[in-house]
Structure 1
Amino acid sequence: MGGQRDELDLVAREFELQRGRLQALAQRMLGSAAEAEDAVQESWLRLSRSETEGIENLAGWLTTVVSRVCLNMLQSRGTRREDALEDYDAPEAAFGPEQEALLGDSIGAALLVVLDTLTPTERLAFVLHDMFAVPFEDIAPILGKTPAAARQLASRGRRRVRGVDEIATDRDRQQEVVDAFLAASRGGDFAALLELLDPDVVVRADAIGITMGAEPEVRGAQAVATTFAGRAKAARPALVDGLAGLVWTTGGVPRVVFDFTVVDGRITAIELLADPGLLGELDLELRG
């Protein structure tokens, strides 16, 4: 009995370490502090009832659970939120200072109104990938879709949130960053790579990429710069679903796609995609 209680206490402590991130994630998805708290509490209830010994990555498990709870909540709203937007004259007044502080500068009341116009799946894909750098391979099972389909949902959400003009600006900025990354990688310019990488950058490879010799995950600017310095000589610039990336081909056939997430001029994530089925679903266009 005492052993079970000790184990539950340990799980509870680990959950509390994740609570702030889960609350921010849920609030960005739901736009409501109260609903976000409900979603986080539901994730705790599910965790407390689960066999925790089989959970290898607690943070990832909780992200999945909270995301699914939020998706169910968004879908249960139906059209109530979109109908309400027609009478929404003063969005800034609808959110108090505590909620605005939690949401942060990246998502104010006005953006929440725009997010409410997205479908639940668009919103979840956009928030998870663009705001929390969750790879599409992890988002896909939550949505019950392929990684390529999850990518398209996030792309549609991004266009609706930011507008066509801003997307064009982002695309140009990302192309500059990716081109600079390729040049620094080929030239072995470690310092230049560090300048381009976010301190918390993460590189993830899919299952096929791992069988080809890639590390499953590399975190941190120093480690990522070390991985790429002097490499990528065979990579070619490409557009990946309309955004700048890199691709390695053999015989004209794409073998590995390097998909970049760029935020504020720095690379926050790189996904190494090598699954032939996924590559076949991507919109790839070689540049240069």
Structure 2
Amino acid sequence: MDTSRYDILVGVDGSASARRAADWAIAEARRHTGSSLTLVLINDDPARESYARQAVAEIAARCGEAQPSLEVGHEVAEGHPIEELVRRSSTADLLVLGSRGHGPVADALLGSVSVGVARRTSCPLVVIRGEETEQRGEVVVGVDDSVRSEAALEFGFTCARNRAAELLVLRAMARHPQARQARSGREAPSERVEHDLAKRLERWGAWFPNVTARRIDVDKHPVTALLEISRGADLVVVGRRGGGGFGGLMLGSVARGVLHRASCPVAMVPESGDQE
């Protein structure tokens, strides 16, 4: 992929949620040199063709008016929404989706599609959640004791730098009551994890010296902690999978809880070679 470009792909329909996704993508494009924006509406019913073309053209015109210097492309594509968006994600740097839709092609952006795409996308996926608000100056990244958190950390540090925002590094580990009371002469696994995380954050901080990163440790279920902290954030970033506290984040009700209940946009970041 051409590193001098930053290609943003937005899945749209004719809904207000899709327009918000496009607006968010425009703001993100302004933060990257060499950005391009492609709007795609996946249509699986020939009877909807006229509506689909009109809907995507209207959103493209809106984007062009908002950012005249931005390269904006748009098209209607045939196929299954999940399969087509996953396929196109392999040539994009970022994929953006609204959280809900309406109208003849609303099914293309329903929650089940967002979850399906999140499981398999090749590039980071942002699902636009919450109400439109002024920027709060905080980006949150959820981490665990897994090296899979590294991609999420890099994405989180990059987003915080580009927004001149503070980065909140959230580590949520719901411990069993008996485990909290256990003590021994040897270093506990949790202490080793904390030490490793501190070293990782020190390394990322050296690579992003202009980013203020603040670590937050909470004794809660990861999804509960993410939902709470999302109320005051501009963006929540999580890795697609994890080996510890965020393990299984992209499975079943946990993934749906984050994608459908967060109070701000959510970024799901895959590891390299992590497609299912």
- Whichever of the two has the greater Rg, that structure is 1
TM bucket, shorter chain:
under 0.3
Q: Which of 1 and 2 has higher RCO (CA within 8 Å, sep 6+)?
A: 2
